[in-house]
């Protein structure tokens, strides 16, 4: 997707602070972290949002969650725990229209947000 910022990051046209990469998945630090550890995990194909996950592309979602387990272990936050968030669409507050999962952690997170 030409005008997708995360596709540009995947292509290497926009720099990112990469923390993990494999055939299916790229993970990089959020440019505007909301807590001590804030990483985004994205599929290496353009899927606009959770509404567009299908039988044909759901392997990417499985690979994202495999990557989350690896990243959190490697970064030393797995044992204390973390939160994974996907924002979908307008009501969900999605600002970048390329499917992504936020990994939030590195400190005690507030209990009053989902
Ligand atoms: P969402 O509101 O779920 O769509 O989240 C989009 C996230 O992408 C926000 O937390 C932004 O801070 C983050 N973001 C936007 N542009 C970049 C970028 N170039 N590199 C890293 N994170 C970004
Ligand atoms: Zn994209």
**pLDDT 10s digits, 70-85:** 999 999 999 999 999 9
pLDDT band at 114; cut points 50, 70, 90:
low
DSSP 8-state assignment for residue 93: T
Mark out the alpha helices in the chain (DSSP H runs).
5-11, 58-74, 89-92
Return the ligand number nearest the Cα of 95: 1
Q: Taking a C-beta distance cutoff of 8 angstroms, is the pair 30, 51 a contact?
A: no
- Whether residue 91 lies in the annotated active site: no
Return the ligand number nearest the Cα of 39: 1
The predicted model scores a pTM of: 0.97
User: Which CATH number does the domain 5-105 belong to among 3.30.428.10, 3.20.20.140, 3.40.710.10, 3.40.50.1820?
Assistant: 3.30.428.10
Strand partners, 101: 41
Ligand 1 atom closest to Cα of residue 29: 21
Q: Taking a C-beta distance cutoff of 8 angstroms, is the pair 29, 105 a contact?
A: no
Of 102, 107, 99, the closest CA to residue 71 belongs to 102
């Amino acid at each position: 997707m030409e005008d997708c910022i995360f596709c540009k990051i995947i292509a290497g046209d926009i720099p990112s602070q990469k923390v993990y990469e494999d055939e299916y998945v790229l993970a990089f630090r959020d440019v505007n972290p909301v807590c001590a550890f804030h990483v985004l995990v994205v599929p290496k194909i353009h899927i606009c949002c959770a509404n567009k996950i299908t039988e044909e592309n759901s392997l990417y979602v499985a690979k994202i969650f495999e990557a989350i387990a690896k990243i959190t272990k490697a970064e030393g936050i797995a044992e204390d725990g973390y939160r994974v968030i996907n924002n979908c669409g307008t009501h969900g507050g999605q600002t970048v229209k390329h499917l992504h999962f936020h990994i939030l952690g590195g400190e005690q997170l507030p209990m009053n947000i989902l």
